[in-house]
Amino acid sequence: MLKIMIFILFLFPLCLMNNFYWMVQGFLFMISFIYIMMISYTNYFMMISYEFGCDLISYGLILLSLWIISLMFMASESIFKYNNYINLFMFNMILLLVLLVLTFSSMNLFMFYLFFEGSLIPTLFLILGWGYQPERLQAGVYLLFYTLLVSLPMLVGIFYLYKIIGSMNFYLLSNYLFNLEILYFSLLLAFLVKMPMFLVHLWLPKAHVEAPVSGSMILAGIMLKLGGYGLLRVMSFLQIIGLKFNFIWMSISLVGGVLVSLICLRQTDLKALIAYSSVAHMGIVLVGLFTMSYSGICGSYTLMIAHGLCSSGLFCLANISYERLGSRSLLINKGLLNFMPSMALWWFLLSSANMAAPPTLNLLGEIFLINSILMWSWVTMLMLSFLSFFSAAYTLYLYSYSQHGKIFSGVYSFSGGNIREFLLLFLHWFPLNLLILKSDICMLWL
């Protein structure tokens, strides 16, 4: 793992030089492709160096991080064009990438916690430094307080584990089974807020609406996956107590998913709609994960990766129309079929991925999740059917409202996309539909 880390660290000097923007992005794609070649089909930790290693769960998420951050450079061309503190921006992004790769490749629970919290800081700088509206300060405070308040108990829980076992290695921890209520709650709460679970999700739409496009992409693509990844790691030694308490989070998430879907149906802001749909999707991931069944855990992992690509692509689309029209309101972004006909196909493809149409990876994830949740209890059928229905409903609302209708009277022109934008959307959509052909990576790692 250190060879990948050192490769990324060597990009820091390039960030501080002028006119190296596209070169850094090219190098990031190069790292991604090298990393794709390094895949190992085992569920053991491979590539171990010091405290860092990588099994198949980390592998998928590190690859997602590399990919999304490369695409963030591509999406943030306006920062490059208007020279909006470009070197600082690049530095911030590479720092974020370093912290994310370290988070996903840590084999030590405490190191994981350290980088897990550390990745919050560059994200905060992204929102505060490159956000659009003056409310971004409030959004930053929301983000910080929601996530930091619940992560202190987690630190205490980690130290308690160390005191009992004398090791914090994930591999060794999974040999133990704890039956302590307070340990369970202290370890889980931090991840539930990060996911975010319904009731503690308010920081997410706030942060998304205020963040620049790169901030939204990283939040939707990777930040929400940190919570899921943490849960996958700690549930292995909290199984017994999980049987007692998991149903609480599952019922909150199922009901919350339906409520959030209803909230989606009355949004007028493009970004807010996509952000709330993320909450609904991560809710179903959470429920599947807490069933602690094979198909539930595999399905939640698959949907995490699929949602990372799909949601990130939708935020790119919202930003493309924002750059043309200067607004994210659905009342102004309507009739885009007449205004940007070339983008309508991408809106269609990514919207259909968002409502889990075949042949996307989302479909595979949702099939596994729905199977596992119904295996757990048939009572969940009611909420699950609502969730699936409304998921399609708000996606169709987003697509039909933005593409059809009479064009806003203030916009009298026709606008094509740039090659850069088409490539950006293609690189979100292509892996999403290609990965289903190689879905054994998502399924065979347990």
Q: How confident is the model at residue 61 (pLDDT cuts 50, 70, 90)?
A: very high
DSSP class of residue 196?
A: T
Identify the pLDDT of residue 404.
Answer: 92
pLDDT in tens, 423-433: 999 999 999 99
Report the distance separating Cα 132 and Cα 291, nearest Å.
Answer: 40
pLDDT in tens, 189-208: 999 999 999 999 999 999 99
Identify the pLDDT of residue 409.
Answer: 77
Identify the pLDDT of residue 415.
Answer: 81
pTM summary value: 0.95
Report the distance separating Cα 11 and Cα 364, nearest Å.
Answer: 36
- 286 pLDDT above the threshold of 80: yes
Identify the pLDDT of residue 412.
Answer: 73
- For the chain, what is the mean pLDDT? 93
Identify the pLDDT of residue 132.
Answer: 85
Identify the pLDDT of residue 410.
Answer: 75
* Helix axes of 239-264 and 270-290: crossing angle, nearest 10 degrees: 160
Closest by Cα among 91, 85, 151 to 122 = 91
